[in-house]
Amino acid sequence: MSHIYTVVRCPRCGKPVPWNETQRFRPFCSERCRLIDLGSWANEDYAIPGEPIDPAEPSEDRNGAEGPPTD
């Protein structure tokens, strides 16, 4: 009964990851999962101010720029 070791689950894909020295990216199973998780974290919680995306773009601009010829 000496085979007790800690296993965690990769927060990204849920793959079991042995918690030991060889797992460089723990608690993630791989560098990829770690980077993906860090990336999503950065995108969601670390909003970078600069270019706010406004889905409700005013349509008046379009009408003025290229409206259908009515003549």
Q: Which of 8, 13, 26, 27 binds Zn ion (CB under 5 A)?
A: 13
CA distances from 20 to 7, 26, 34 (A): 9, 8, 16
Task: For tokens 């007790």, name the residue.
Answer: 4
Does 13 belong to an annotated binding site? yes
Does 47 belong to an annotated binding site? no
Site string for Zn ion, 33-52 (x = CB under 5 A): x-------------------
Beta strands at 7-9 and 16-18: parallel, antiparallel or unpaired: antiparallel
- Would you list which residues are annotated within the binding site for Zn(2+)? 10, 13, 29, 33
Residues that bind Zn ion (CB under 5 A): 10, 12-13, 15, 29, 33
